Every structure is written in C-alpha cells, then in structure tokens.
Amino acid sequence: MGRFVEGASRNQTTLLPECLEDFIAEDNPVRIVDAFVDELNLASMGFGGTTPATTGRPSYHPAVLLKLYIYGYLNRVQSSRRLERECQRNVELMWLTGRLAPDFKTIAEFRRSNSAGIRNVCRRFVVICRDLKLLTQAAVAIDGSKFKAVNSRDNNFTPNKIARRQEQIEKSIQRYLDALETADPDRHFAL
C-alpha cells in the first residue's frame, strides 16, 4: 500500500492482550470503582448471595456484578443486554470483572433482587465523598463591599428544604432503578 501506516495481519497469532493491567492507565476511573467495591461489606449493605451455596452451579460474586452496574452507570449503559456485550468486548470491563462475562439474565436478576443494596451503595458513596471533603459546605466572607444579591426561594435552604431535597434524591435513585427495569425487555424470567 505504499507509504501508509499498515496494521498487523489478521492471521498473525498474538497473545493480545498480553496483560490486561497494561491496558488500564493508573488514573482510569475503573480502578476507583474496583477499590470502592472491594472495600464494601456487601452482606451488611443488603446484598444476597455473598456466601456461596454448597450445591449447584457456582454463582457470580455480587461484587463483580456491582462493579459491572457502577461501570454501566458511569458510562450510561443501562441495558443488561448492552452490559453483557460490553463485558465481551470492552477492555476496561474485562479488567474490572476479571474477564467474566455474565449473561443478560444474570445481570438483570442481580439488579432486580438487590435494588436495596444498590441504593445503600449510593448512600455509602455520598458519605465517602463527604469524608474525603469532595463535597463540602462553602463559607463565604465578604469584606464590606456591596453586591447585588438575589435571595429567591431557589437560592436559600432551610432544614425543611434540605429534607425535601433528600427525598428527591431518594426518588431519583428509585427512578434510575425503574429505568433499569424498563431497559430490560426480558425482565421477567421463568426459572
């Protein structure tokens, strides 16, 4: 092809990827997701299946499926079928799940049966952000200069408004979980 940059032959045998660790940068957000989920006590947060059954087919650990859902949330992938496809082709998800690729029914069933645990993880994440001072209460000092101020209802907060806002956040989490439910067309399975 002359002086063009050429790719490798598709018939060339390689060990790609040689090491998944080499493909994930040190500052990649999947590393944070991995560390965050690994530090959680999933049983106390309301997740089922944290202790494996002694008989039957081995199940996926809830931490793997939770990492998959958090990754989906961060990358706007809500459908369990799309998450299944991403597990098979996305290098970040291969690294995050240890090359596991659960099927869409397993992913949807995990979300359906662990919605309370997922909600608790959302709350825990906000607490960690506050502890790390990522979410702070700002204090403003003014030196006596005169500024035009607007103290409308939207710009001031009372304890009642804060309580209502927390209720709105809870409803928002529930709406997201409901959207996940509707994103899966095969959400009712016969076992």
Contact 40, 124 (CB under 8 A): yes
Residue 68: band (very low, low, confident or very high) from pLDDT cuts 50, 70, 90: very high
128-147 pLDDT per residue, tens: 878 887 766 665 565 666 66
Query: For the segment 70-105, what is each residue's pLDDT rounded down to a tens digit?
Result: 999 889 888 999 999 999 999 999 999 988 999 999
Dist. CA 156–CA 150, nearest whole Å: 10
Query: What tokens were used for 90?
Result: 């996305």
- Identify the pLDDT of residue 191: 45
Q: Are 66 and 121 in contact (CB under 8 A)?
A: yes
Q: 80 and 183 in contact (C-beta within 8 Å)? A: yes
Q: In this predicted structure, which of 11-15, 41-45, 89-93, 141-145 has the lowest mean pLDDT?
A: 141-145
Predicted model pTM = 0.67
Q: Which two tokens stand for residue 102?
A: 């659960």
Overall domain count for the chain: 1
Say which residue the tokens 């359906």 belong to. 112
Which range marks the domain in which residue 161 is found? 20-183
Q: Flag the least confident range among 45-59, 146-160, 165-179.
A: 146-160
Helix locations, the chain, DSSP H: 29-38, 62-74, 80-89, 91-97, 104-113, 115-131, 159-183
What's the distance, CA 191 to chain centroid? 27
190 lies in some domain: no
pLDDT of res. 66: 93
* 1 belongs to a structural domain: no
pLDDT at 2: 59
